[in-house]
Structure 1
Amino acid sequence: MTAAALGYAPGRTLPLRVEALRQLKRRRTLVMGLILAALPFVLIAAFAIGGGPDGSENSRITLMDTATASGANFAATCLFVSAGFLLVIPVALFCGDTVASEAGWSSLRYLLAAPVPRARLLWSKLTVALAFSAAAMLLLPLVALAAGTVAYGWGPLKLPTGGALPASDALVRLALATAFVYVSQLVTAALAFWLSTRTDAPLGAVGGAVGLTIIGNVLDAVTALGDWRAFLPAHWQFAWADALQPQLEWSGMLKGTAISVTYAVVLFALAFRGFARKDIVS
């Protein structure tokens, strides 16, 4: 037995900081961060050109109509316009590209020959991918809150249903809404990660996860499915709006969390099980 074998510890292979630095240096990480950070400024410019949102033509006031009421309102609006699709993309990108890209570069087998245990490799990559996804979820509302406060001032969160929440309470509610959006995206993350372990094409894993998420949204719009829609993760994706009510409502977010976590756990388990038995040739 060699000295190297005596000092070998599977848990020390592929440290999280090494994987995080590798992912941070990639161009797609920078591009995605710039896109998310730029969205609030694009909306501010749009409101400036268009004269701000105007709900006078419709008696029903929406979150978009209150966008320029305060920085908190603007942050909530940015979350509203991006939660359905834009925030799906970084989650699918970070989780779908992570393993498939290694296979595409023909470096996956060399990592495993290092030797990095397969389960350790997946845990490291999944942890970093989920952390980067969380950072993407935080980046957008934080930039929106800062930019909105400069553009529209610091103040209470004006509610579309009437009334307002004090600024301190608004921050807590926005944090809760952001956390739920992240949890609701775990299904997309799990889909992308599972596909990433099944293919050597990163675009296939990312595109497949985004495509299946869109299909879920389409199915949720089919009212003929009736109560079956409640089992679709997409059915609860906007339940975070319950956090922006005068009285905090938990039922929708709790149901959505249960559905999302259940699907995610099953898909993550399939990813680990399949990768453990996969013949790595690239």
Structure 2
Amino acid sequence: MKHIHHVIENLMAGRPEACHLAKALAKQARATHRRMARARAVGFEAYETTLTDLLLTELAHVDPRFWRVVRFKPHEERGNGADWEWWIQRSDLSWVRLWIQAKRLYHPGERYEELKRKVRRGSDGRIWQSRLLVEAARREGRNGSVLPVPLYAFYNCLQGKRAEPWPCKRLEPCQQQPLLGITIAPAQQIDELIVKGKNGYRDVLAESKPLSCLVHCPTVWSGHPQDSYASTLLMGMEWLHTNDVLPSAPSLPGRIEEALETDDEVVAEESDPRIALITGHAALPGARMDEVPPGLADLRERFDLRALEQQGWRETT
């Protein structure tokens, strides 16, 4: 029997940073799928905010030297349609900014019902939330800030055991469904779907990639070594955007840099999402969490997987 983390290790041979990150993202996709299934089994639905909080908390523990979560002080009015933003550092130490809106799959219709949600935009009436996200990102760039890259993150759990369409043939059907627990897509493509009245699972999946595919695609990444979590993620994000070079800023906003030093919450501005995830190419300032010694994080991941196996949960080929 072959577990999914063994498949990833084979695909990522010789790239330890990317291998560790690929396993971490795959683990979070499976965990999201499992949380949604467990909630539904007792008559509940796991909401986007809960799933996002859990996802970002776990990602921040991938390696606390290079990952950090910063919260914005609570506020209600948001002008950009994003739930959270992600700052990723390039090797030249500049920063790429992502704006991400999270949506979950509804049952029994297997549609993202909230994709069709309209929001108020000033005196212009109501527009699709996806259009708000895309237009707000463009406006932010015109206003002199670094242009945010708008994305959607989808939280998925299907009913019953099914083999779903997959972007490539590298995995067996039994491995695919849990890895579709989190998929990601450019907001512009999702906005075009919504304009056409499409918000079904299969429609959206055709425009999306599994989150873990950002760092373990063997076809795209062959011969392209990456030397950090951040550089690996950026290559995946550029691939998601048809190899466009993503815009970047020379530094983080001052209030976020200060929060990294002090661990304080950030004072929210009108267009802020509620939370930010920071991924550094170089080690980040501050020490909110103990640093993870080299090799320990990978050992902890293996221990967690063994614990799951002991509880009877496994994926096999």
Q: TM-score, normalised by structure 2?
A: 0.25
Whose relative contact order is higher, 1 or 2, with alpha carbons under 8 Å and at least 6 apart?
A: 2
Structure with the largest fraction of strand: 2
Structure with the largest fraction of helix: 1
Structure of greater Rg: 1
Q: TM-score, normalised by structure 1?
A: 0.27
